[in-house]
Amino acid sequence: MACFLIEGGRKLEGEVYCKGAKNAVLPILAACVLCPDVTLTNVPELSDVSRSFKILEFLGCEIERDKDRAHIKTDGIKNLALGSDLTSKMRSSVIFLGSLLGRFKMSQASYPGGCELGARPIDMHLDAFRRLGADVKDMHGSIRCVCKESNLKGSSITLSFPSVGATENIILASVLANGETEIINPAREPEIEDLVSFLNRAGADISIESGSIHIKGVRSLKKVSYSIMPDRIEAATYMAFAAANEGNVLIRNCCPNHFESVTASFREMGCNVEIYKNSVYIRAPQRLKAIRVSTMPYPGFPTDAQSLIMAALLRAEGTSVIVENIFDSRFKVSEEFIKLGASLDIVGRAAIIKGVDEIYSADVSARDLRGGAALVAACLCARGKSCISGISHIDRGYENMEGNLRSIGASIERISKEQDEKG
Ligand code: EPU
Confidence band of 114 (pLDDT split at 50, 70, 90): low
Percent of the chain with pLDDT over 70: 97
Atom of ligand 1 nearest to the CA of 90: 32
Atom of ligand 1 nearest to the CA of 397: 41
Confidence band of 63 (pLDDT split at 50, 70, 90): very high
The DSSP element (H or E) to which 333 belongs, if any, is helix 333-339
Q: Say how many Å lie between the CA of residue 23 and the centre of ligand 1.
A: 10
Catalytic residue among 115, 271, 379, 381: 115
Q: Average pLDDT, stretch 107-133?
A: 87
Q: Average pLDDT, stretch 85-95?
A: 89
Q: Say how many Å lie between the CA of residue 164 and the centre of ligand 1.
A: 6
Neighbours of 356 (CB within 10 A): 15
Residue 275: C-alpha distances to residues 4, 218, 262, 300 (Å): 31, 40, 12, 18
Pocket of ligand 1 (CB under 6 A): 22-23, 26, 91-92, 115, 119-125, 161, 163-166, 187, 189, 303-304, 326-327, 369-370, 397
Using an 8 Å Cβ cutoff, are 413 and 402 in contact?
yes
pLDDT score recorded for residue 422:
41
Neighbours of 78 (CB within 10 A): 8
- Average pLDDT value for the chain: 95
Give the span between the Cα atoms of 266 and 281, in whole angstroms. Answer: 11
Question: pLDDT digit string (tens) for 326-352?
Answer: 998 899 999 999 999 999 999 999 999
Q: Quote the pTM value.
A: 0.96
pLDDT score recorded for residue 66:
95
pLDDT score recorded for residue 112:
82
Question: pLDDT digit string (tens) for 370-421?
Answer: 999 999 999 999 999 999 999 999 999 999 999 999 999 999 999 986 654 4
- What residue owns the CA closest to ligand 1's atom 36? 304
Mutational test site, ligand 1, from 22, 157, 167, 326, max ligand atoms within 8 Å of CB: 326
Neighbours of 418 (CB within 10 A): 10
Q: Average pLDDT, stretch 257-286?
A: 98
Give the span between the Cα atoms of 116 and 110, in whole angstroms. Answer: 17
Give the span between the Cα atoms of 152 and 150, in whole angstroms. Answer: 7
pLDDT score recorded for residue 417:
66
Low-confidence winner among 27-36, 139-148, 264-273 (lowest mean pLDDT): 139-148
Question: pLDDT digit string (tens) for 19-54?
Answer: 999 999 999 999 999 999 999 999 999 999 999 999
- What residue owns the CA closest to ligand 1's atom 13? 326
Question: pLDDT digit string (tens) for 289-298?
Answer: 999 999 999 9
**Is 115 a residue of the active site?**
yes
The better pLDDT of the pair 419, 160 is held by: 160
Distance linking the first and last C-alpha atoms of the chain: 15
Residue 207 exposed, middle or buried by CB count within 10 Å (0-12, 13-18, 19+): exposed
Atom of ligand 1 nearest to the CA of 164: 20
Determine the number of helices (DSSP H) and then strands (DSSP E) in the chain.
15, 24
Using an 8 Å Cβ cutoff, are 352 and 319 in contact?
yes
Percent of the chain with pLDDT over 90: 92
CA dihedral 360, 365, 369, 372 (to 10 degrees): 10
Question: pLDDT digit string (tens) for 187-220?
Answer: 999 999 999 999 999 999 999 999 999 999 999 9
Give the span between the Cα atoms of 153 and 173, in whole angstroms. Answer: 10
Whether the predicted pLDDT of 139 surpasses 50: yes
Instruction: Give the max Cα distance, the chain.
Output: 66
Q: Say how many Å lie between the CA of residue 148 and the centre of ligand 1.
A: 28
Q: Average pLDDT, stretch 236-257?
A: 97
Classify strands 279-283 and 272-275 as parallel, antiparallel or unpaired: antiparallel
Using an 8 Å Cβ cutoff, are 319 and 292 in contact?
no
- What residue owns the CA closest to ligand 1's atom 15? 327
Q: Say how many Å lie between the CA of residue 163 and the centre of ligand 1.
A: 6
Mutational test site, ligand 1, from 120, 194, 396, max ligand atoms within 8 Å of CB: 120
- What residue owns the CA closest to ligand 1's atom 16? 163
Could you please report the per-residue DSSP string of 245-297?
TT-EEEEES--GGGSHHHHHHHHHTT-EEEE-SSEEEEE--SSPBP-EEEB-S
315-339 in b/e burial notation, b at 16+ Cβ within 10 A?
A: bbeeebebbbebbeebbbbbebbbb
Atom of ligand 1 nearest to the CA of 298: 38
DSSP letter at 112?
A: P
